[in-house]
Amino acid sequence: MNESTFAELATGFALSALSPADRRDFEAALAEHPEWEKHVRTEAETVLLLADAVEPVVPPASIREELMARILVTPQTPDAASESDEEDFAAAGPAPVTAPARASTGGMRRRWFTLAASIVAVLALGFGAVTIGQQLTRPAAVVALEQIQGASDAQSASVALSDGGEATAHWSAERGEVVLVSDGMPVIADDQTFELWLVRDGDAIPAGTFGATDGTATALLAGAYQPGDIIAVTIEADGGSPTGEPTSDPIVAIATA
Amino acid sequence: MLVPMVIDGVEVPEDGADHVDHVGELLQRVAAGDDTAFARLYDMMSSRVFGLVLRVLVDRSQSEEVLQEVFLEIWQSASKFAPNRGQGRSWVLTMAHRRAVDRVRSSQASADRDVRVGFRDLEAPRDDVAESVEMRIEGRRVAEAVAALPEAQREAITLAYYGGYSQSEIATLLGSPLGTVKTRMRDGLSRLRTLMGVTT
């Protein structure tokens, strides 16, 4: 591809208007000729004018509240130093909304310790693109499980599920974390989810939702565990119980001490 | 005379000598997990992002979802913002536009999308939105410059940017060869630069 053809593609790219095939050609050419990035930058600056021409619209205040709550339980992508070749205007890529959870679990955990009270409110909200469940079943839960098992006060307890499966809670009071590992979870409808609860002093505190793959799931409970909490799972409507309280009897209940 | 000018809630001297990238600085703090910086960034940019997303998607509830997605992605991937490679505002608004376009193309709504959406004129700025006069004047200048583009260029650009259509979709819609559409877009942006006095 010559530079003039590339410059033309850069226009389409800046306007988010490339066909998938052109997009691939564009990226390949940019990788081969990093010096052509100047065209991308020029076009992007011009396109920014088009954004400025749009009237700002103040979004509902509830969105700010939800976001401020959601970031408390959303891991961040680790420093991108190793990804310095990431294309410019990195937003360009069809980036997944869910981020890799590894490496930032430490930060998350600290947040959970200090901000447990607000997280409880967070998890009761219905989320759009990213469900907490997706995050919980990602490696964060596996990492947390290893950390719990490595803790000096690691404990676990299992219960049989009604239709043959088994659920095991692993917890560490020192870490304030609980991971629930289960197999043989019942099949639920597409518009349903499993919701985790920490039952404390008779109150059920929402602790995230999760889905099972072939009945198997590993889920890290959101919220700081306290000794004596009962770990429970109920089946709720997608997004979790809208009221923030269980709407059905638990299919799992594990007492801890 | 130095009159303070407010852009996205941040005062900058009118002469533009202050090129501090406030949004970029906030992004770097967000990358380090600073939720206060995130809140400031949101307050500074959310109405711009929402306006842009709403413009592309039209549907308000989908726009609210995309607004959340965008800011959640900012939180997650702020470490990918490279201060040496562009301004923070540009990074945020580019991401917002990409996500809005992704959504309009993936959603069922895209099938029913009103073809005329891209042709709607940029509305005249209303006076009831809390924003600095200077910024509004700037937005109006751009709107005027876009309106001053030759019809064919303006059509191609607005269908792409505000309508979320791809170049090949636009070629089909207009019954023009793809190459012509591409050229119109490129010429249109080039002319817009000239009209706005952008130096590159």
pLDDT (0 to 100) of residue B38: 95
Locus of tokens 């890290």: A220
Cα separation, A183 vs A129, in Å, equals: 26
Q: What is the pTM of this model?
A: 0.58
Question: How far is the alpha carbon of A2 from chain B, nearest alpha carbon, in Å?
Answer: 16
Q: Which of A72, A86, A10, A75 is nearest to B81 (CA)?
A: A86
Residue in chain B nearest A108 by alpha carbon? B33
Which two three-digit tokens encode residue A58?
């103040």
pLDDT at residue A161 in the model: 80
Q: List the one residue out of B71, B94, B100 whose CA is nearest residue B162.
A: B100
Q: What is the pLDDT of residues B100-113, one digit of tens each?
A: 998 988 864 554 45
Nearest-Cα distance to chain B for A112, in Å, is 14
- List the single residue in B161, B162, B168 with the smallest CB-CB distance to A19: B168
Contact: A18, B167; criterion CB under 8 Å: yes
Helices B178-196 and B133-147 pack at an angle, to 10 degrees, of 140
Query: Is this complex scored with an ipTM above 0.95?
Result: no
The pLDDT tens digits for B30-80 are 999 998 999 999 999 999 999 999 999 988 999 999 999 999 999 999 998
Q: Which residue is associated with the tokens 């959601």?
A: A70
Interval A207-229 mean pLDDT: 88
Residues of B whose CB is below 8 A from A15: 157, 160-161, 185, 189
Return the structure tokens found at B154: 């303006």
Q: Tell me the chain B residues in contact with residue A53 when contact means C-beta distances shorter than 8 Å.
A: 122, 139, 142-143, 146
Which of A20 and A133 is assigned the larger pLDDT? A20
Please tell me whether residue A255 adopts helix, strand or coil conformation: strand
Element (H, E) at A114: helix A105-123
**Beta-bridge partners for A231:** A198, A254
In this predicted structure, the answer to whether residue B87 has a pLDDT above a threshold of 50 is: yes
pLDDT at A73: 77
Give SS3 for A224.
coil
Q: Inter-chain contact B161–A59, Cβ cutoff 8 Å?
A: no
A137-192 pLDDT tens trace: 446 777 888 888 888 888 888 888 877 788 889 999 989 999 998 888 888 988 99
- In total, chain B counts a number of residues equal to 200
CA–CA separation, B166 vs B161, rounded Å? 9
Q: How many CB pairs under 8 A join A and B?
A: 216
A96 touches chain B (CB under 8 A): no
Sign, CA torsion A90/A94/A95/A97: positive
Chain B contact for A173, CB < 8 A?
A: no
